[in-house]
Chains A and B, each alone.
Chain A
Amino acid sequence: MYNRIFGIAGLMFRQAVRSRFVVSLFCLLLTVLVGFTLTIQGDGTASGRLQVLLSYAMGAVGSVLGMATLWLACGSLATEIESRRIHLVVVKPVRVIELWLGKWMGILAVVLLQLVAAGLFMWAAARIGEHRTVAGTPDGIAVREEVLVAREWVEGRRLGPPGDRPVRWSLSCPELPEGATGMATLSYRFLSAWRDQPPVIGHWMLRGEDGRIWFESDCTANQDGVNRLKIPLAQLRGGEPVELLFEERPNAAGQVTGATFHPEREVELLVPTGGFGANLMRALLLLFCHVALLAALGVTAGTLFTFPVAVFASLALVVATLLAQFFVFSTAPERVAHEHHHGGEEGPSWIERVGAHASETVRMAMAPTLRYRVGLRLAEGRRIPWREVQAAAAVLILGYGGVLCLAGCLVLRRREWALPV
């Protein structure tokens, strides 16, 4: 069985290489990545530039590779059926699942090759960016401690009623690596509608369950943007619950701003637990899981339709999945009904009702496929955990991929290969 699967996969890979698909895609990815590296400026700082570069590069690699994989996958079976080359394969002792898996794995080999190349490029670009900054300078510290790092993070859960002073949060300190040195970051934001507000002067305190103070520091923070407070790792105890307190103090003029914390991500404690290289690898593996799902979709679509129709149908499904989030917002069934009820006019039109229910159904069915996205985590130096990669592989490849594989095999079993296309 494995002999046949790997035989078909090897053939698929060889065809992709010899039809110049691999080299075309490689050139395209290289152009995009080099283009980004040469043109991106960011906010003027090395860390800002690196953050924008990493997030854009991940997005571009995902989009280009995803699109190209979909094309390749749709053509893998559809063009062979159309050209009748498949006749010589299906009259051999090959089961349909072996055929499907062989094609899919061949495409994955192409994807893996491209992802490794893109990953190496991104890693090199990041390291060059790091070497261009001077260690110890604010920019150099930001690059090393906030971008090219993998940090666990926990959000604080507010304690006490609103308006309570001092403001208190409870959080559980992430597990620390053995003999960890360096700095953790406490990140916090205020809610501000205007720019150029006076800074907030306050005092932060971190204390354990036993009441012992782990760390305390005065701070001067901006009301807009993200503020960061560095905490030596040596002063934290991994895995233990901790209480965080903030008390605003009057400024030089004796005034208190009364600034309130931003309701989303009020405070976060980010603790470095790993390096950039491994985090990049996990991010690329997450991307790989998504592209593998696209490949499965393409191969199955190719069993049903001719090549161009398969591409169209797969793309339509991908776009519908992405747009479903937007449409759910504007056409959620309850919202549509509620608006019309309160508007006192006639009920929602049938198009609105159908649209609302269709988008909700698509969203529900496809929501897990959008759960495991890299987003800005790599660029923000946030750790992508291994368990997320495993979950993504289980859900996207085994779950959705398995369903698509099953559907593809069912179609292939019933198919009359020699019917005119």
Chain B
Amino acid sequence: MQEKANSTILEVVQLTKVFCDFWRRPKVRAVDGLNLSVRRGEIFGLLGPNGSGKSTTIKLLLGLLHPTEGSIRLMEGRPGDVAVHRRIGYLPEVSHLYRYLTPRETLLFYGRLFDLSARERRARTDQLLEMTGLTAAADRAVGEFSKGMARRLGLAQALLNAPELLILDEPTSGLDPMGCRQVKEMLRALADQGTTILLTSHLLADVEHICDRVVIMYNGKPRAAGNLRDLLATPDRMTLDLPVLDAATTRRLLQTIRETCDCEAELSRPSMNLEEFFVRVVREATNGASAAPEAATPRMAAFLEK
């Protein structure tokens, strides 16, 4: 069991994708010699600025593009295998949904593609609609949805098969801070239950909160990779976390530190980041009522709980 937990779910070796023009001349080298391996149960971040090759890498992993060079091993199979697709969930950068369908019909349709029984389809659809806060809009056409709502529905369809590997391309793009927070909490909860998550983002705060390991790409090449804590650690500095002290005590404490350690020490009052503040304000405004789905902490769908 432990062995399975530490096993590699995705292995990419020297992955290269070159886009050519009509005359087959190389136009863009979108991914260039990428190596990465993702372990079961971790949240792996693929970071980089726009045009760095993150989305192309994802599409290569899903078999939506064919690699020019290199190999991909995905859950003991290859990208594009039907058996592999049965075990993965995918949320694209833009939720390409059928605009004439309602969210309920959308989820029921994708449920059929996973060959779920009618009863199972309906149950999972209801749970996911509730989890993503779309129950009230379940019978409205998707074409009328805001970007954030479409994103929530996109996430719901990615979770429909309770995937072992969840591939998310910019999962928080288009979501409001509440939505971002909910998605991050949900991803963390999924990872805690053993789901492997591979996500791309250029919103570093999102990644910092939830990712275990990351690779940073630029111009198609990996520039840095590793455990997020190790990468972000500053080995020559320390932080002392204290309750608020009066001014005299503070001065004495600083004096003691300077004399004892013979180094410069500074004291500052930590501040909340804007996201935390926003979430607090909205939660207070709704009095923490669970009836307001936009503000509530998402309740995990029952079928996703392992």
User: Are A and B direct contacts in the complex by CB distance below 8 Å?
Assistant: yes
Asked whether any CB of chain B lies closer than 8 Å to the CB of A416, the reply is yes
Q: For the complex, what is the distance from the CA of A88 to the CA of B92, rounded to whole Å?
A: 8
Taking a contact as CB atoms under 8 Å apart, the answer to whether A85 and B96 are in contact is yes
Q: Which residues of B contact A4 (CB under 8 A)?
A: 112-113, 115
Taking a contact as CB atoms under 8 Å apart, the answer to whether B92 and A84 are in contact is yes
Q: B113: shortest Cβ distance to chain A, in Å?
A: 4
Q: For the complex, what is the distance from the CA of A419 to the CA of B97, rounded to whole Å?
A: 19
Q: B194: shortest Cβ distance to chain A, in Å?
A: 21
Taking a contact as CB atoms under 8 Å apart, the answer to whether A84 and B110 are in contact is no
Q: For the complex, what is the distance from the CA of A83 to the CA of B92, rounded to whole Å?
A: 13
Q: Which residues of A contact B90 (CB under 8 A)?
A: 87-88, 91
Find residues 1-27 in chain A having any chain B CB closer than 8 Å to their own CB. Answer: 3-4, 6-8, 10-11, 14-15, 18-19
Taking a contact as CB atoms under 8 Å apart, the answer to whether B65 and A85 are in contact is no
Asked whether any CB of chain B lies closer than 8 Å to the CB of A89, the reply is yes
Q: For the complex, what is the distance from the CA of A86 to the CA of B62, rounded to whole Å?
A: 13
Asked whether any CB of chain B lies closer than 8 Å to the CB of A417, the reply is yes
Q: For the complex, what is the distance from the CA of A90 to the CA of B79, rounded to whole Å?
A: 11
| B64 partner, pick from A10, A11, A418, beta carbons under 8 A | A418
Q: Which residues of A contact B209 (CB under 8 A)?
A: none
Asked whether any CB of chain A lies closer than 8 Å to the CB of B66, the reply is yes
Taking a contact as CB atoms under 8 Å apart, the answer to whether A85 and B97 are in contact is yes
| B115 partner, pick from A87, A93, A416, A417, beta carbons under 8 A | A93
Asked whether any CB of chain A lies closer than 8 Å to the CB of B98, the reply is yes
Taking a contact as CB atoms under 8 Å apart, the answer to whether B100 and A92 are in contact is no
| A11 partner, pick from B85, B94, B96, B101, beta carbons under 8 A | B101
Q: Which residues of A contact B110 (CB under 8 A)?
A: 88, 92
Known: A7-B112, A88-B110, A88-B157. A416 touches B65 (CB 8 A): yes
Asked whether any CB of chain A lies closer than 8 Å to the CB of B86, the reply is yes
Taking a contact as CB atoms under 8 Å apart, the answer to whether B100 and A89 are in contact is no
Taking a contact as CB atoms under 8 Å apart, the answer to whether A416 and B113 are in contact is no
Q: A353: shortest Cβ distance to chain B, in Å?
A: 33
Taking a contact as CB atoms under 8 Å apart, the answer to whether A93 and B157 are in contact is no
| A419 partner, pick from B65, B85, B105, beta carbons under 8 A | B65
Q: Which residues of A contact B97 (CB under 8 A)?
A: 85, 88
B66, B97, B112 interface centre (most CB from chain A within 10 Å): B112
Known: A3-B112, A14-B100, A87-B92. A94 touches B105 (CB 8 A): no
- Please give the residue numbers on chain B whose beta carbons come within 8 Å of chain A beta carbons, in ascending order: 19, 59, 62-66, 82-83, 85-86, 88, 90, 92, 94, 96-98, 100-101, 105, 109-110, 112-115, 141, 157
**A-B pairs with the 4 shortest C-beta distances?**
A7-B112, A18-B100, A418-B64, A92-B113
Q: List 14 A-B pairs, Cβ < 8 Å.
A: A11-B101, A11-B109, A18-B100, A18-B141, A83-B96, A84-B96, A90-B64, A92-B85, A93-B86, A93-B113, A93-B114, A93-B115, A94-B85, A95-B82
